[in-house]
A = this chain, B = another copy of it.
């Protein structure tokens, strides 16, 4: 089955929301993430239900079927592989990657995406630390420790970021942060939680608000 660009975005939004909450996805929540009216969403839910991509009961919200989830995972794979390409091969800045990948993920060819995967060396994570499903849809979950949980004197590797808004990404790249780097916590301000870190031989400070969007894996 061939999905339209728009149908794909609905499927993607459904997977995103139900992965977060674990529950049925409500019409309003989906409308909010897609920036559409609830009425439009209702129409599309009926359509996707007729195509067996979701289970949908009026007033009860929707959830992807197994088949729908397969489609969504394939989109995730495409999106994340393109992100790797944009960031690593083309040197496009962190904060510009997301918008472009959102267009590229709709390119249909499976041949293309498998060749891209091979070209990139079958990466397991994208530049934001999100796992990349393989051609069979399998992927490894990433570590989920927050930078705010790091203890003073301890060293860790930055493995991902939770937020993706371009201003946030710009902020932290200006501080010199990127995925794969090693950092050591020097101190945490007891009043507002501001962190002082050693990163790439330089001392930097990060507000608690920012630090809780950053994921780490402790070394050792």
A positions within 8 Å CB-CB of B:
86, 89-92, 96, 99-100, 103-104, 107-109, 111-112, 115-116, 118-119
Contacts and interface: CB of A to CB of B under 8 A. Distances in A.
B86 A112 contact: yes
A173 to B, nearest CB: 16
Given A112-B86, A112-B90, A103 B107 contact: yes
A107 to B, nearest CB: 5
A89 B104 CA distance: 17
B116 A90 contact: yes
Contacts of A109: 99-100, 103
A119 B9 CA distance: 30
A91 B115 contact: yes
A1 to B, nearest CB: 18
Contacts of A107: 100, 103-104, 107
25 contacts: A86-B112, A86-B115, A89-B119, A90-B112, A90-B115, A90-B116, A90-B118, A90-B119, A91-B115, A91-B119, A92-B111, A92-B112, A92-B115, A96-B111, A99-B109, A100-B107, A100-B109, A100-B111, A100-B112, A103-B107, A103-B108, A103-B109, A104-B104, A104-B107, A107-B107
Contacts of A100: 107, 109, 111-112
Contacts of A92: 111-112, 115
Contacts of A112: 86, 90, 92, 100
Given A92-B115, A103-B109, A104-B107, 18 more contacts: A86-B112, A89-B119, A90-B115, A90-B116, A90-B118, A90-B119, A91-B119, A92-B111, A92-B112, A96-B111, A99-B109, A100-B109, A100-B111, A100-B112, A103-B107, A103-B108, A104-B104, A107-B107
